[in-house]
């Protein structure tokens, strides 16, 4: 059961003071540009996705949409509350990853937030204390969920060339 798993943190969002609810904060123009640039960089790397699952918060959905456009992704975006900022790695894996792994999905992107995406990355790589910068994408290779994932590369808005080092996060 091999899978390429792409962990994505949403791009830069508007200041929370301008919105009544945290979940309503959209991407800033800079964030939209960054998410588009990252999507185009992933396309240049030949990334193709079978499924995209996003947090329901506006900034994550907008990031997922812009990545999908950049990649020419034709499928529907799936929404999962397990990917919200307070999401726990075990729940994200059981709700967002395992059912797709069981269904034969080979290339999955999860779009979410800090601290939950950092916690998930730490759990998958078995390296505590990791976090993801805004707009970053980490490509992992999974050989089932019972073994540590392998880091393939990282792309982020200020470093569009893939890097195999966690230092760029």
Q: What are the tens digits of pLDDT across the range 113-124?
A: 999 999 999 999
pTM for the whole structure:
0.97
pLDDT tens for 18-76 read 887 889 999 999 999 999 999 999 999 999 999 999 999 999 999 999 999 999 999 99
- Quote the percentage of the chain above a pLDDT of 90: 91
**Domains of the chain from N-terminus onward:** 2-104+116-168 (3.40.50.1240)
pLDDT band at 16 (very low <50, low <70, confident <90, very high): confident
CB within 8 A of 55, min separation 6: which ones? 10, 61, 79, 80, 81, 83, 84, 85, 87, 111, 112, 113
Task: Name the band, by pLDDT with cuts 50, 70 and 90, for residue 1.
Answer: confident
How far apart CA 151 and CA 65 sit, in angstroms, is: 24
| Arithmetic mean of pLDDT, 121-142 | 97
Provide the 10 A C-beta neighbour count for residue 90. 13
Q: Shortest CA distance to 55 belongs to which of 28, 30, 87, 29?
A: 87
């Amino acid at each position: 059961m091999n899978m390429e798993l792409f962990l994505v943190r949403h791009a830069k969002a508007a200041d929370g003071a301008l919105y009544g609810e945290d979940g309503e904060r959209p991407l800033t123009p800079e964030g939209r540009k960054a998410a588009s640039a990252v999507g185009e960089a992933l396309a240049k790397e030949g990334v193709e996705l079978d499924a995209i699952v996003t947090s329901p918060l506006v900034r994550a959905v907008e990031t997922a949409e812009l990545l999908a456009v950049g990649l020419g992704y034709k499928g529907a975006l799936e929404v999962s509350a397990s990917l919200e900022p307070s999401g726990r790695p075990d729940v994200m894996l059981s709700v967002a990853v395992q059912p797709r792994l069981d269904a034969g999905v080979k290339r999955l992107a999860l779009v979410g937030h800090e601290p939950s995406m950092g916690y998930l990355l730490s759990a998958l790589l078995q390296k505590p204390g990791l976090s993801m910068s805004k707009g970053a994408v980490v490509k992992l290779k999974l050989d089932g969920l019972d073994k540590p994932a392998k880091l393939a590369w990282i792309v982020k808005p200020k470093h569009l060339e893939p890097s195999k080092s966690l230092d760029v996060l």
